[in-house]
Amino acid sequence: MDRLAGQIGGASSHGRLHPMVEPFDRRVIDVGDGHRLHVEQSGNPQGVPVIVLHGGPGGGCSPFMRRFFHPAHYRAVLFDQRGCGRSQPHAAVTANTTRHLVADIEVIRRALGIERAILFGGSWGATLAVAYAEAHPQAVLALALRGVFLGRRAELDWFYGGGVARFFPDRWAEFQAPIPQAERGDMIAAYHRRLFSGDRGQETRFALPWLLWENALAGLEINGSGHAPPDYARTFARLENHYFANDCFLAEGQLLRDRHRIEHIPAVIVQGRYDMVCPPATAWELAQGWDRAELRLVPASGHALSEPRIAAELVHVMDGFRDAGRVAG
Name the catalytic one among 123, 192, 242, 306: 123
Q: Is 123 a catalytic residue?
A: yes
Q: Is 12 a catalytic residue?
A: no
Predicted local distance difference test score (pLDDT) of residue 323: 79
**Domain residue limits, the chain:** 25-152+249-324, 153-247
Q: Which helix (H) or strand (E) holds 324?
A: helix 308-324
Q: Is 247 a catalytic residue?
A: no
- Write down how long the chain is: 329
Name the catalytic one among 2, 275, 301, 306: 275
CATH T-level topology, domain 25-152+249-324: Rossmann fold (3.40.50)
DSSP per-residue letters across 67-83: GGS-TTTEEEEEEPPTT
Average pLDDT per block of 10 residues along the chain, 329 residues long: 49 68 98 98 98 96 96 98 96 97 98 98 98 98 98 98 96 98 98 97 97 91 67 96 98 98 98 97 98 98 95 96 67
d(CA 221, CA 198): 37
Closest CA relative to residue 16, chosen from 270, 291, 316: 316
Name the catalytic one among 73, 192, 303, 306: 303
The model's pTM? 0.94
